[in-house]
Structure 1
Amino acid sequence: MNLTRYPQLIDRLAAEYVLGTLRGGARRRFQQYADEDSAIRRAIDEWQRRLAPLAELAAPRMPPAAVWDAIERRLGLSAARNAARPRGVQETPARPSRGLLDNLAFWRGWAIGVTALAAIAVVVAVRALLPSTTTPATAPSVAQQPEAAVSHVAVLNDKDAHPVMLIAWDEAHSTMTLHPLGLVDLPPGRAMELWGIPASGHPMSLGMLPDNASGKVSAGQQKPENYAALAVSIEAPGGSPDHNAPSGPVVFSGKLLPVS
């Protein structure tokens, strides 16, 4: 099959390949095509470049104990241990070596890899749902995406690292689109204020947010590249009297990252 005749198909397969949803024989065949076709490799590279930064959205998480049980079952360690255990001796649950448990980099990488896939899927879905100035007859390829599109994205987490809100920043239109991802428990008579957190210097108020954390708000003259993270504080109606610092508690925060 000559895939170069179907650029939109190449684009979709490349997206699934990078996300990991293209599996089995289809993935192997697509990899073979990529080895022989520079256009397919460019499509894969473009999707990797776009999606790789979103891994930073993930917070480190410790996997559940059931993960070790599943590993033992698949490796046959549970059966071997039961056969070697003397009668009447209660089984002691196996534990991995301390070297692995103490390896924080291992767990951080595992958590980022798993959680980032969910974050990437959310962002890709949001990009598909956002309104555009024109409605193309066919889905555009990565290289054909319109300029007026999401340029930066942030997933704001609560103090327990649970995702609460996704903010998609459209720099071309100076707007931010809010998508609730969890429960926003706003106290009665209070309001949410959005803050841009630069790499150095004081925070900057980006305006008040709707109580339901959904819809569009104006970004004004603010530029997303000026900020490393976004945060939300709980304020009195009208916001903090100091536009350079929240007066109430900061309840949500997350890194602001480019998507292209």
Structure 2
Amino acid sequence: MNLARYPRLVDLLAAQYALGTLRGGARRGFQRYAERDATIRNAIDEWQRRLAPMAELAEPRMPPAAVWEAIERRLGLTAARDAARPRHVPPTPARPARPARGLFDNLAFWRGWAIGVTALAAIAVVVAVRSLLPAATAPTTAPTVAQQPEAAVSHVAVLSSKDARPVMLVAWDEAHSTMTLQPLGKVDLPAGRAMELWGIPASGHPVSLGMLPDSASGKVSAGQQKPESYEALAVSIEAPGGSPDHNAPNGPVVFTGKLLPVS
């Protein structure tokens, strides 16, 4: 099969390959195609480049001790350690049978959690990049990612609530001094209140970047602000018109997230 004849299929498979959701024989087969076809390799490289910055959004987590113990047992490290133990040292006693493990002791849960975080990050980048691609008449044959014009988005941030629930995507177009907002979850805005966006620099006080629409959707002007000046973005709940002090929120800060360059 000549995959190059189906650019939309190549684009879809390259995205799944970079994301890690293309598995088993399908992944190995697609990899063999990529080894022989530069167009497929370029599509994979382009997706990996666009998805890579979002990996920093996932905070490191330490799996429970039971997960490491299960890995050691599967790899035979426990038996090897006992065999290497001096004879005068008694072997590690067998652990008593444990009741069924809960969700957070389950290796499959942590593997699924990692995949979920990666998928969320990937979706955020795809939405950000594709939402600001220059408008054009749709071609007869959809181009691959590698053939598409460079996205206008320069920085992105996924803003999450205090319970780590993704709520809002901010895609910053530095070239046009605009920010595009995309809701990722329900935004609970109290009646008679408004949301204000803040830039958080590495040092110094927060800087107000303006008021946000109640729907957390649409475009807002970035004015003269540059995304390189800030490490993170935050949203506070304020009275209509915003905080009286443009150097600090007056109301509670409800959403925060790192601001990362797309490339």
Structure 1 residues 167-178: aligned runs within 5 Å = 167-178=170-181
1:120 alignment counterpart:
122
Give the Å deviation of 1:109. 8.8
2:262 alignment counterpart:
259
Code of the residue aligned with 1:115 in structure 2: it is V
1:93 alignment counterpart:
99
Aligned equivalents of 2:245, 2:200: Cα separation in 1: 15
Distance verdict in 2 for CA 1:259–1:110, change over 3 Å? farther
Distance verdict in 2 for CA 1:224–1:188, change over 3 Å? same
Give the Å deviation of 1:125. 4.0
Confirm or deny: 8 A CA contact 2:133 2:152 kept in the other structure.
Answer: no
**Deviation string for 1:74-132 (max 9, x for gaps)?**
x9xxxxxxxxxxxxxxx741569xxxx8xxxxx99974543121231243245445563
Q: Structure 1 residue runs of 4+, over 6 Å off?
A: 61-64, 107-110
Q: Does 1:164 align with 2:167?
A: yes
**Deviation string for 1:214-246 (max 9, x for gaps)?**
211111122222221110011222112222222
Confirm or deny: 8 A CA contact 1:59 1:111 kept in the other structure.
Answer: no
1:142 alignment counterpart:
145
Aligned equivalents of 1:57, 1:224: Cα separation in 2: 17
Give the Å deviation of 1:39. 4.1
More moved, 17-26 vs 152-161: 17-26
Aligned equivalents of 1:131, 1:143: Cα separation in 2: 13
Give the Å deviation of 1:167. 1.2
Give the Å deviation of 1:7. 5.5
Give the Å deviation of 1:140. 3.2
Code of the residue aligned with 1:163 in structure 2: it is P
Give the Å deviation of 1:5. 5.8
Code of the residue aligned with 2:26 in structure 1: it is A
Code of the residue aligned with 1:132 in structure 2: it is P
Aligned equivalents of 1:58, 1:198: Cα separation in 2: 20
Code of the residue aligned with 1:255 in structure 2: it is K
Q: Does 1:235 align with 2:238?
A: yes
Unpaired segments of 5 or more residues in structure 2?
Answer: 75-96
Q: How many matched pairs?
A: 231
Secondary structure of the corresponding residue to residue 18 of structure 1: helix
More moved, 236-245 vs 207-216: 236-245
**Deviation string for 1:135-187 (max 9, x for gaps)?**
33143333333345322211111111111111122223222111222222222
Confirm or deny: 8 A CA contact 1:55 1:112 kept in the other structure.
Answer: no
| TM-score, normalisation: structure 2 | 0.73
More moved, 5-14 vs 147-156: 5-14
Confirm or deny: 8 A CA contact 1:60 1:111 kept in the other structure.
Answer: no
1:82 alignment counterpart:
none
1:104 alignment counterpart:
none
Aligned equivalents of 1:202, 1:13: Cα separation in 2: 45
Confirm or deny: 8 A CA contact 2:130 2:151 kept in the other structure.
Answer: no
Confirm or deny: 8 A CA contact 2:209 2:222 kept in the other structure.
Answer: yes
Aligned equivalents of 2:114, 2:26: Cα separation in 1: 26
Confirm or deny: 8 A CA contact 1:152 1:256 kept in the other structure.
Answer: yes
Code of the residue aligned with 2:117 in structure 1: it is T
| TM-score, normalisation: structure 1 | 0.74
Unpaired segments of 5 or more residues in structure 1?
Answer: 76-90, 102-106
Aligned equivalents of 1:148, 1:16: Cα separation in 2: 20
1:16 alignment counterpart:
16
Aligned equivalents of 2:253, 2:33: Cα separation in 1: 50
Aligned equivalents of 2:185, 2:251: Cα separation in 1: 21
2:81 alignment counterpart:
none
Cα RMSD after superposing both structures:
3.4
Code of the residue aligned with 1:253 in structure 2: it is T
Confirm or deny: 8 A CA contact 2:174 2:226 kept in the other structure.
Answer: yes
Aligned equivalents of 2:179, 2:2: Cα separation in 1: 41
Aligned equivalents of 1:140, 1:14: Cα separation in 2: 13
Confirm or deny: 8 A CA contact 1:155 1:255 kept in the other structure.
Answer: yes
Aligned equivalents of 1:21, 1:111: Cα separation in 2: 13
Secondary structure of the corresponding residue to residue 47 of structure 2: helix
- Name the % identity: 72
